[in-house]
Structure 1
Amino acid sequence: ENGIKDCSDGSDECPANSKKETVFSSPFEMIGNPVFRGILWMMGGISLLGNTAVCIISIMQVRTAKSEPLKVAFLWLVANLSVSDLLMGVYLLSVSAMGSRFSGSYCYHDAEWRSSQTCSILGSLAVVSTEVSALIMAAMATIRLVSVYFPVRMSSIKRVTYAAPIVCAWCVGILIGTLPLANYKSGYFVESACVCMPRLFAKVGDAAWGYSTFIIVFNFCLFVYMACCYLFLYQRSRKVTKVGKSKSRRLLRTVAAMIFTNFCCWIPICIMAFITLAGVKLDNIVYVVCAGVLHPLNSVLNPLIYS
């Protein structure tokens, strides 16, 4: 029904416990669709290289911006954002590499891989990356907004003002992402997908459905908060700027890009998750697109926008 062969028949001679249907795999390929395999490799490479470059450049620029505390604050926020997004690149490349390793004989490794600690750790890494990234972006939006309303006070921003949100973002993100590892054999990350994605679309009553719902609602609220911050920022900047309309238009384009990319990445996922919670069954392609493409896409786009 979902394009998954029964790999326990006589011709395929695959183990019986590898029959579990997934939206990603085929009997002999962990990532069955070659186009999707290419997308994962591409996004993983761009995320790893792009975020590494942004992190290095941001840290180097800190040395030349010591006389500008607000700029230093943003540079450290961007550096930490790039590190969190870099983790998503590590996840994507690791999953792609495992797919290449099992190529041609995946069904023989299916059950062992889906129940392995390695798969759970990779899924946890994806969640940590997503949550830390979202929290740091929210902190950036807050500091940007406050700096527009109180430019004189924020021009001499104290280190603790931006260091504390960074530390909190990492602590909260790691806590959220590693909670399922307390019992990794529960299969939260692997029961529904061989690529170790978190179970974004859970029905009421499913295992850990409350955890999945919390992640979706939490990220939805962060998006709404960031959108409001940037809209207020633009409105305030347009009132106080004396440089002319060109600067206002540039700011509008930047703010629009920030909101639009977050909207495209998270709002469809949130809407689909809420629909699933309401008891509506979604086509498997929806999960592939949302979990496999939109979920990690922010990590690819963030270095281009926030740097």
Structure 2
Amino acid sequence: MWAVPIQHIMKDAFSGLIRLKSLVIVTQLSDNDHIDVKSGGLDGIQSLQTLYVDDHRLCCHFQNLDDCITVEPQPPLFMCGSLMQNYILRVSMWVLGISAVVGNAYVVIWRFTEKTKSSNMAKQSFLIGNLAISDSLMGIYMLILACADLYYGDDYFVFSDQWRSGPICKLASFICLMSSEASVFLITLISVDRFLCLVFPFSPLHLRLKSTRIIVSILWVITLTISVIPTVLAGPNSDFYDLSDVCVGLPLITRPASFKIQTTDVDNPLSDRSFNLPVPEESKPAWYFSIALFLGVNLICFAIILVCYIAIFINVQLAKKKASRTTAVDEDLKMALRMAAIVGTDFICWVPIIIMGILSQTGMVVIPLQMYTWSVVFILPVNSSINPYMYTVSYLISDFRSKKSAEGTVSTGGATKSSIVS
């Protein structure tokens, strides 16, 4: 057994040690440094069965080894290889990120430059424009991760500690939280507004354009505060909000609450040495802030959204039984249906994370580490890419129907006039 502080493993460093069964590699390097393994540096140790290391990243160089034991606990979400684990994730990150930025930028420009005739439509354009701003931030977050994956490549695991504690990852965390929480708050506000307009159409407690702007401004301030807190106070090993490889702490994992020391003897004819290895005991939530935010605040918001749209649905069914409806109610109803589709995509994206978070934190299931990255790519941000096209399609359909209706009215009026003249 060898135990020597090292910084480099040169080519053929283990040449001739074909019978070596156990190996201890002590690097004594800081998190900002890493051991340099040259090509062919691990050749010649085909019989190796057990490896003891003080740097968990070294295990990635020995992936064919059955037993790689780390003297220090490794981060809860550490994985070998690249930031995006496969080609599907890598391509999807670029496609969804670009789609979210371009699509939402178009919606923002369109909504804030559109000349609306009614204050109600101006209010809806204002809300959708702000929602598009929050969704575009998610696209920026995804492109930051995509660029990091492209930059580090397959050697990402070597630099993972520097990445997680670096300023770019913290900026990405800030942007992601801003986007996700602003989206949740804005959709809740939209749902409450539609609820008041449809269920209580004659009530004075309706949101006007001025009051909507004030409320939205307050929501952005709250969101900014929420996003800054974990980014400023968190450290790479903080229990408050530990940054993961994807720079956002979803409540999908737990971490050991404490460790007990277990002495392990290394069986090697060249030396007789024992090592103190940490063995995890009970588990605790990885991020209390994440649980309070995603499983607390967001769950309450979606409960409000659900109640609002159940009430709207009941009101729609009752409205169908009435013989006549005013044009204003019909307009609100159509708008509510379009909003319900938009809210539905966000609901579908967040509910799986809430459910997985509850199951994980209660210990009922263990979420695979790979699921964390898939959630960030396909569950968390996909609505940010879909929403702008839903806005556009719904508007074009509504505009087309309005034009057809106008043409029909003109045609009918012309025919009537002709018959009268004749």
TM tier, smaller: 0.7 to 0.9
Q: How big is the shift at 1:114?
A: 1.7
State whether structure 2 residue 369 is matched by structure 1 residue 284: yes
Q: How big is the shift at 1:184?
A: 3.5
- Stretch of structure 1 that moved more, 87-96 or 103-112: 103-112
Counterpart for residue 93 of structure 1: 143
After superposition, give the CA deviation of every residue in 1:57-100 in whole Å (9 maximum; x if it has no partner): 10111xx21x4111111101001000011100000001101111
Q: How big is the shift at 1:124?
A: 1.9
2:160 to 110, 118, 131: 110
1:130 to 154, 165, 180: 180
State whether structure 2 residue 291 is matched by structure 1 residue 213: yes
Shift in CA distance, 305/228, structure 1 to aligned 2, threshold 3 Å = farther
Shift in CA distance, 131/12, structure 1 to aligned 2, threshold 3 Å = farther
Shift in CA distance, 24/228, structure 1 to aligned 2, threshold 3 Å = farther
Q: How big is the shift at 1:104?
A: 4.5
Shift in CA distance, 182/12, structure 1 to aligned 2, threshold 3 Å = farther
Shift in CA distance, 225/8, structure 1 to aligned 2, threshold 3 Å = farther
1:228 to 282, 294, 307: 307
Q: Determine if contact 1:237/1:248 at 8 Å carries over to the other structure.
A: no
Q: Specify which structure has the bigger relative contact order, considering alpha-carbon pairs within 8 angstroms and separated by 6 or more residues.
A: 1
After superposition, give the CA deviation of every residue in 1:240-291 in whole Å (9 maximum; x if it has no partner): 36479x9999779646634542332111111111111112322223323323
Counterpart for residue 64 of structure 2: none
> Secondary structure at 2:381's aligned position in 1?
helix
State whether structure 2 residue 246 is matched by structure 1 residue 195: yes
After superposition, give the CA deviation of every residue in 1:97-131 in whole Å (9 maximum; x if it has no partner): 11111124424432211211221221121111000
Q: Determine if contact 1:24/1:288 at 8 Å carries over to the other structure.
A: no
State whether structure 2 residue 87 is matched by structure 1 residue 34: yes
C-alpha distance in 1 between matches for 2:132 and 2:286? 30
Q: Determine if contact 1:30/1:106 at 8 Å carries over to the other structure.
A: yes
Identity over aligned pairs, percent: 21
Q: Determine if contact 2:94/2:143 at 8 Å carries over to the other structure.
A: yes
Amino acid at match of 1:121: L
Matches within 5 A, 1:46-61: 46-61=99-114
Q: Determine if contact 1:69/1:156 at 8 Å carries over to the other structure.
A: no
Counterpart for residue 271 of structure 1: 355
Matches within 5 A, 1:154-165: 158-165=208-215
Shift in CA distance, 121/34, structure 1 to aligned 2, threshold 3 Å = same
Amino acid at match of 2:88: V
Q: Determine if contact 1:41/1:96 at 8 Å carries over to the other structure.
A: yes
Amino acid at match of 2:287: W
Q: How big is the shift at 1:168?
A: 2.0
Q: Determine if contact 1:47/1:86 at 8 Å carries over to the other structure.
A: yes
State whether structure 2 residue 170 is matched by structure 1 residue 120: yes
Q: How big is the shift at 1:166?
A: 0.7
Amino acid at match of 1:36: L
Which segments of 5 or more consecutive residues in structure 2 lack a partner in the other structure? 1-34, 43-53, 59-73, 258-283, 393-422
Counterpart for residue 303 of structure 1: 388
- Stretch of structure 1 that moved more, 82-91 or 224-233: 224-233
State whether structure 2 residue 339 is matched by structure 1 residue 261: no
C-alpha distance in 1 between matches for 2:197 and 2:96? 33
Q: Determine if contact 2:360/2:366 at 8 Å carries over to the other structure.
A: yes
Shift in CA distance, 235/33, structure 1 to aligned 2, threshold 3 Å = same
Count of matched residue positions in the alignment of Structure 1 and Structure 2: 296
After superposition, give the CA deviation of every residue in 1:166-200 in whole Å (9 maximum; x if it has no partner): 11221121111221122242456995632212232
C-alpha distance in 1 between matches for 2:111 and 2:189? 17
> Secondary structure at 2:367's aligned position in 1?
coil
Tell me which protein shows more strand as a share of its residues: 2
Amino acid at match of 1:214: A
- Stretch of structure 1 that moved more, 33-42 or 186-195: 186-195
- Stretch of structure 1 that moved more, 35-44 or 96-105: 96-105
Shift in CA distance, 222/85, structure 1 to aligned 2, threshold 3 Å = same
Counterpart for residue 3 of structure 1: none
Shift in CA distance, 256/183, structure 1 to aligned 2, threshold 3 Å = closer
Which segments of 5 or more consecutive residues in structure 1 lack a partner in the other structure? 1-6
C-alpha distance in 1 between matches for 2:151 and 2:161? 15
Q: Determine if contact 2:246/2:373 at 8 Å carries over to the other structure.
A: no
Amino acid at match of 1:112: Q
C-alpha distance in 1 between matches for 2:247 and 2:155? 18
